[in-house]
């Protein structure tokens, strides 16, 4: 069972046993530019990041701008842990070539696999992927996670892919997968975590 915090079992005054339990890693996938998204998409992305942190989970992003960046900001302001996966091979390339930020992240992994390879590593590194708004890059992450039978959440009402995803699943005739939908960040996160736990019970 995955717990939010480290458990400390005090055997006696001289010995302490520390049991480390991994935290859920939640990827926030979304538009690197938010101009075409819903007016409150940035606010909802930031709230989502904050909730992930407050609930003791780790936020995973593509170490990029836009809505994932706002989620990272929300998570860090709540004292959370944020890990980014960059398409660049180095910090210098991340900043100068790709023009991506480094703030609001505790660790950035420089994959060197450009965007398509980065997307695969990003989604597979997470226990679940949550889509906020989104364009073609976000669609790529969405379909990778779907093919991998990954738990996914879609924050509806944020524009872009998030408001098209349910229709795409219907028209694609591949079933609903492990995708849940909600317009409320907190309720969506509840659904995502519940589905992760259900998967764990199934083994």
What local confidence, expressed as pLDDT, does residue 191 receive? 98
What local confidence, expressed as pLDDT, does residue 156 receive? 98
Chain segment 154-188, per-residue pLDDT in tens = 999 999 999 999 999 999 999 999 999 999 999 99
Domain with 63 in it: what CATH number?
3.40.50.450
DSSP code at position 139: H
Mean pLDDT to the nearest integer, 43-57: 98
Mean pLDDT to the nearest integer, 43-63: 98
Q: 172 vs 139, 176, 179, 200, CA distance in Å?
A: 13, 10, 14, 27
Mean pLDDT to the nearest integer, 30-46: 96
Structure tokens, 56: 């003791």
Proportion of the chain above pLDDT 70, given as a percent: 92
Chain segment 111-129, per-residue pLDDT in tens = 999 999 999 999 999 999 9
Name the pTM for this structure: 0.90
Q: Does the residue 9 lie in any domain?
A: no
Mean pLDDT to the nearest integer, 97-105: 97
What local confidence, expressed as pLDDT, does residue 203 receive? 75
**Nearest CA among 50, 42, 60 for reference residue 160:** 42
What local confidence, expressed as pLDDT, does residue 18 receive? 72
Q: Does the residue 107 lie in any domain?
A: yes
Q: pLDDT-derived band of residue 14, with 50, 70 and 90 as boundaries? A: low
Range of the domain at 85: 23-202
Residues 6 or more apart from 139 whose CB is under 8 A from it? 161
Mean pLDDT to the nearest integer, 36-47: 97
Q: Does the residue 146 lie in any domain?
A: yes
Q: Does the residue 10 lie in any domain?
A: no
Q: Does the residue 17 lie in any domain?
A: no
| Integer Cα distance of 60 and 158 in angstroms | 19
Q: Does the residue 1 lie in any domain?
A: no
Q: What's the structural domain count of the chain?
A: 1
């Amino acid at each position: 069972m995955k717990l939010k915090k480290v458990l400390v079992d005090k055997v006696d005054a001289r010995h302490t046993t520390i049991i480390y339990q991994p935290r859920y890693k939640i990827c926030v996938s979304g538009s690197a530019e938010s101009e075409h998204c819903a007016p409150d998409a940035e606010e909802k992305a930031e709230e989502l990041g904050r909730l992930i942190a407050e609930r003791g989970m780790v936020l995973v992003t593509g170490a990029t701008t836009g809505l994932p960046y706002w989620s990272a900001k929300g998570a860090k302001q709540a004292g959370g842990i944020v890990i980014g996966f960059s398409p660049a091979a180095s910090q210098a390339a991340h900043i100068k070539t790709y023009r991506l930020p480094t703030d609001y992240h505790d660790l950035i992994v420089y994959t060197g696999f450009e965007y398509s390879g980065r997307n695969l590593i990003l989604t597979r590194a997470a226990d679940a992927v949550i889509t906020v708004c989104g364009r073609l890059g976000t669609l790529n992450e969405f379909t990778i996670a779907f093919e991998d039978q990954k738990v996914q959440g879609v924050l509806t009402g944020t524009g872009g892919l998030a408001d098209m995803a349910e229709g795409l699943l219907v028209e694609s005739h591949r079933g609903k997968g492990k995708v849940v939908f909600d317009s409320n960040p907190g309720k969506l996160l509840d659904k995502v975590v519940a589905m992760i736990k259900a998967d764990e019970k199934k083994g």
